[in-house]
Amino acid sequence: MTTTTASVVETPRTAPWWPTLIIAALLAVSLASYGYFTHGKPLAEKTLTSLAMPVGALWLLISARLIQLVTRGPRTGMWGLIGLWLLISLLGTRPLPRLLTRWVESRVASYDPARDGGLDVVVVLGGGTSQGTWRPQASGVGDRLVMAAELYHQGLAKQLITTGQVTEGVSDLAPDPSDQTVEIWTKLAIPRTAIEQLGGRNTYEEMQQLKQIWPRLDGKKVGLLTSALHLPRAVRLAQAQGLKLIPIAADVRTAVDDWGLLNFIPGAGNFCELSSTQHEIMAGFVSR
């Protein structure tokens, strides 16, 4: 008689989650305490706020889980968590996004009034506005609108040109960016006669629109104003159309770097900055 012995495969046990939550709380208190003892209550509060945000909370929980698995086990799934933790820590904290942003922004030397003097015309690329409930408003990169108004009122720009039109399927219900800019500028006491509008759904088309009126601008000092991160691409596309423009950088992100505790806690803002920089780098590969 043959006896068959059934083998039983033991299911790997899963570490409980309650120690993870305790470790996460201790990490949060430790980081907030460091902020308090180095820079007082405001930094402690901002640290706790950053850790309560979705990206910060996820990073905190993964960190706590890894500490638990390393110290008490079982280590099932630990390497996957390590990979995820490294990815969030690398892409979601300040160093890498800021390094790439600085590299892109530094590729073009920007206009300096003391060095370059006044300009006859300043071309301000669209994208610095959005539509509010009852009025157009400056967007997150709306510093270009403010800077252009400053140049005009300081006598450093005689004429302003605004570009941009809506992209079908993206913002059909909003007015053209150039219309929004005109409304904002006229409310800032810039005469309508000092403003000209051009179309263009993207930077490539805006440069094509500018080329069409270039014969009457040729020989004048013409500035090209946009966000510092976007400026190298705008200059490259302008040169491809044979346009000689003076680069003017607004919305500079890397003029001052204030490295501190919060820069090393992952956050959505760092992912957004990395995404914007990646967009500019990718555009260079496809010449757009």
- Residue ranges covered by each domain of the chain: 16-106+257-288, 109-253
Cβ–Cβ < 8 Å for 266, 93: yes
Extract the runs of DSSP E, i.e. beta strands, from the chain.
119-124, 129-131, 136-138, 157-162, 195-197, 222-227, 246-250
With bands split at pLDDT 50, 70 and 90, how would you rate the model's confidence at 190? Answer: very high
Torsion of CA 90, 91, 94, 97, to 10 degrees: 120
pTM, two decimals, is 0.87
pLDDT in tens, 92-137: 999 999 999 999 999 999 999 999 999 999 999 999 999 999 999 9
Rounded Cα distance, 253 and 209, in Å: 28
Closest among 101, 97, 151 to 122, alpha carbons compared: 151
Structure confidence at residue 86 (pLDDT): 97
Average pLDDT of the chain, as a whole number: 91
Structure confidence at residue 173 (pLDDT): 58
Residue 222 has pLDDT above 60, yes or no: yes
Residue 7 has pLDDT above 60, yes or no: no
Closest among 279, 271, 276, 287 to 59, alpha carbons compared: 271
Rounded Cα distance, 104 and 102, in Å: 5
Q: Does domain 109-253 have CATH number 3.40.50.620?
A: yes
Helix (H, G, I), strand (E, B) or coil at 131: strand
Kindly state the tokens that stand for 7: 């083998």
In DSSP notation, 150-216 reads HHHHTTSEEEEEE---PPTTTSTTSPPHHHHHHHHHHHTT--GGGEEE---SSHHHHHHHHHHHGGG
Structure confidence at residue 11 (pLDDT): 54
Structure confidence at residue 258 (pLDDT): 76
Rounded Cα distance, 161 and 210, in Å: 9
With bands split at pLDDT 50, 70 and 90, how would you rate the model's confidence at 278? Answer: very high
Structure confidence at residue 13 (pLDDT): 63
pLDDT in tens, 18-41: 889 999 999 999 999 999 999 999
pLDDT in tens, 173-182: 578 999 999 9
Q: How many CB atoms are located within 10 Å of the residue 112 CB? A: 10
Rounded Cα distance, 95 and 97, in Å: 6
Query: How far are the Cα atoms of 5, 189, 210 from residue 242, in angstroms, in the given order?
Result: 83, 33, 11
Cβ–Cβ < 8 Å for 183, 208: no
With bands split at pLDDT 50, 70 and 90, how would you rate the model's confidence at 43? Answer: very high
With bands split at pLDDT 50, 70 and 90, how would you rate the model's confidence at 82? Answer: very high
Between 21-35, 140-154, 173-187, 233-247, the lowest mean confidence (pLDDT) is in 173-187
pLDDT in tens, 192-208: 999 999 999 999 999 99
Rounded Cα distance, 179 and 126, in Å: 10
Q: In what order do the strands lie in the sheet with 222-227?
A: 195-197, 157-162, 119-124, 222-227, 246-250
Residue 5 has pLDDT above 60, yes or no: no
Closest among 163, 143, 116 to 253, alpha carbons compared: 143
Cβ–Cβ < 8 Å for 31, 51: yes
Structure confidence at residue 17 (pLDDT): 82
Structure confidence at residue 112 (pLDDT): 95
* Higher pLDDT, residue 8 or 177: 177
With bands split at pLDDT 50, 70 and 90, how would you rate the model's confidence at 287? Answer: confident
Query: How far are the Cα atoms of 49, 74, 133, 205, 276 from residue 279, in angstroms, in the given order?
Result: 29, 41, 29, 17, 5
